[in-house]
């Protein structure tokens, strides 16, 4: 196979038009916003600093604080109070253990959240209800039902929402997905994705809760005993591998890879219509002591998952790239991964795109896009509906693997057709006091 790879970050629409897919890295100038755009409650003006609050500042969340730019870090909340205080001291911010106290502050315009997957929906809903704009890490939610509730809340309260699917702001990925949509590979017949492992139930033994951690709050909708290798995101194995708290790497890396596939196929407001499995049935590992993640993941990549989109495009979870897919069409193959674009034959991605083939994008990076949209009130490049639909593909893969049979999916109604057992898996039980609201 002939590979021509491209690596780049964000850039402007004008730069897209004059450079080919093999363009070099370009640093974009800030987007100009007219001075007459005035601020009001819940909507900072063009020249105002945005007041930011951070909820969940562990491994991923602590890194997100560095993306505040010229905006003000007002407060930080984390169930690990010593950690919240440490992060807050660095930025001269206030520290909270209960994120709801942070949401009460009038000087916070937007929140950035990187909580565990099982908490993300409630944090996003509560933030929208409090009049805050939201940057939420991916996967957006733990279940399909949670995702729809978050969309409803964001739309009802007219909030700006950015999902942390940052590949949508990488120049090469933007170009690659646009090239697939423009027909560079011809009509797409097959997409090869990564065979992401599914999560399994947690059986780790109880350990004493360290001082300073509100374990009751950490668990939230789920009941579980503390264990250091549950509390860490990726450890031995960490909460990302456990079904009660996450969708495993099916939603971890899958939310990146499937997001690119959804975008390239023009399915941002839709999704597959059928999902099925082939091979040996799913067998959840029972690991009662700490183990490296590979011990469980080697078992939970079975059975193999397939999905079909309207028009007959079949996606197979096999040996695709972590952060994208291999798009096989009538004219050849286009490959997309994080910051990488190639094709076979290589000529498929050699010519620049036409102006009408590129999406509108200000080109200021993923956080930059979020901040600009807070001021302009436009929708972000990874809007809440986009984040929900991409996470849904992940959840469909897990549900099919757990049930081990063909399922027909209605992407408009967001229901399985004629399968009550599968529809019960659209959501998971929430502990009393942490339920999803009937109405947002």
Q: Tell me, what's the pLDDT at 43?
A: 65
Q: How far apart are CA 153 and CA 159, in angstroms?
A: 8
> ω before 139 within 30° of 0 (cis)?
yes
| Tokens of residue 4, six digits | 């021509």
Question: Please, what is the angle between helix 144-156 and helix 384-403, to 10°?
Answer: 170
Helix residue ranges, H only, 139-197: 144-156, 171-181
- Tokens, residue 173: 């990925």
Instruction: Please name the residue that has the structure tokens 């996450």.
Output: 246
Determine if the pTM surpasses 0.85.
yes
SS3 139: coil
Separation in Å, CA 315 to CA 217, 283, 312:
39, 23, 10
CATH architecture of the domain covering 13-167: 3-Layer(aba) Sandwich (3.40)
DSSP label of 189: E
- DSSP letter at 374 equals H
CATH 3.30.360.10 placement within the chain: 180-351+384-426
CATH 3.30.470.160 is the classification of domain 180-351+384-426: no
Number of H helices, E strands in the chain: 15, 15
Contact (CB, 8 A) for 358 and 16:
yes
Mind listing the pLDDT tens digit of every residue in the chain (440 residues)? 434 344 333 344 444 334 333 332 222 333 333 332 345 555 676 568 999 999 999 989 999 999 999 999 999 999 999 999 999 999 999 999 999 999 999 999 999 999 999 999 999 999 999 999 999 999 999 999 999 999 999 999 999 999 999 999 999 999 999 999 999 999 999 999 999 999 999 999 999 999 999 999 999 999 999 999 999 999 999 999 999 999 999 999 999 999 999 999 999 999 999 999 999 999 999 988 989 989 899 999 999 999 999 999 999 999 999 999 999 999 999 999 999 999 999 999 999 999 889 888 766 899 999 999 999 999 999 999 999 999 999 999 999 999 999 999 999 999 999 999 999 999 999 999 999 999 99
Answer yes or no: are the C-beta atoms of 204 and 290 closer than 8 Å: yes
**CA distance linking residue 241 with residue 255, whole number of Å:** 15
* Structure-block tokens of residue 18: 């004059």
Ranges for all domains in the chain classified under CATH 3.40.50.720: 13-167
**Residue 274, phi-psi category: left (phi > 0), alpha (psi -120 to 50), beta (remainder):** beta
- pLDDT of 22 reads 36
């Amino acid at each position: 196979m002939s590979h021509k790879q491209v690596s780049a970050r964000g850039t402007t629409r004008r730069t897209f038009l004059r450079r080919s897919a093999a363009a070099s890295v370009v640093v974009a100038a800030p987007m100009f916003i007219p001075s007459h755009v005035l601020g009001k409650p819940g909507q900072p003006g063009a020249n105002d600093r945005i007041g930011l609050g951070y909820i969940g500042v562990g491994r991923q969340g602590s890194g997100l604080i560095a993306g505040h730019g010229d905006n003000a870090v007002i407060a930080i909340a984390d169930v690990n109070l010593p950690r919240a205080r440490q992060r807050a001291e660095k930025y001269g911010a206030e520290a909270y253990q209960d994120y709801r106290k942070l949401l009460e502050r009038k000087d916070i315009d937007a929140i950035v959240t990187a909580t565990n997957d099982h908490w993300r929906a409630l944090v996003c809903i509560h933030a929208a209800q409090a009049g805050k704009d939201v940057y939420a890490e991916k996967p957006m939610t733990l279940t399909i039902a949670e995702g729809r509730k978050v969309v409803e809340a964001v739309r009802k309260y007219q909030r700006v929402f950015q999902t942390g699917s940052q590949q949508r702001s990488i120049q090469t990925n933007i170009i690659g997905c646009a090239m697939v949509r423009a027909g560079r590979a011809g009509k797409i017949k097959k997409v090869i994705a990564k065979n992401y492992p599914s999560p399994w139930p947690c059986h780790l033994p109880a350990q004493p809760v360290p001082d300073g951690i509100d374990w009751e709050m950490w668990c939230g909708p789920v009941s579980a005993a503390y264990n250091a290798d549950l509390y860490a995101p990726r450890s031995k194995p960490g909460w990302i591998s456990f079904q009660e708290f996450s969708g495993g790497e099916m939603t971890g890396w899958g939310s990146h890879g499937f997001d690119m596939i959804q975008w390239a196929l023009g399915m941002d407001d839709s999704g597959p219509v059928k999902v099925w499995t082939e091979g040996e049935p799913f067998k959840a590992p029972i690991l009662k002591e700490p183990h490296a993640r590979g011990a469980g993941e080697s078992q939970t990549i079975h059975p193999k998952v397939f999905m079909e989109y309207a028009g007959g495009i079949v996606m197979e979870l096999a040996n695709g790239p972590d952060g994208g897919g291999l798009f096989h069409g009538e004219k050849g193959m286009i490959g997309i991964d994080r910051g990488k674009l190639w094709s076979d034959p290589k000529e498929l991605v050699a010519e620049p795109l036409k102006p009408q083939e590129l999406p509108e994008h200000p080109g200021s990076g993923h956080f930059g896009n979020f901040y600009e949209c807070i001021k302009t009130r436009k929708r972000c490049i990874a809007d809440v509906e986009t984040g929900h639909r991409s996470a849904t593909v992940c959840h469909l893969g897990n549900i099919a693997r757990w049930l081990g049979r063909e399922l027909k999916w209605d992407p408009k109604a967001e229901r399985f057709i004629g399968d009550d057992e599968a529809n019960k898996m659209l959501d998971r039980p929430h502990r009393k006091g942490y339920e999803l609201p009937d109405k947002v």
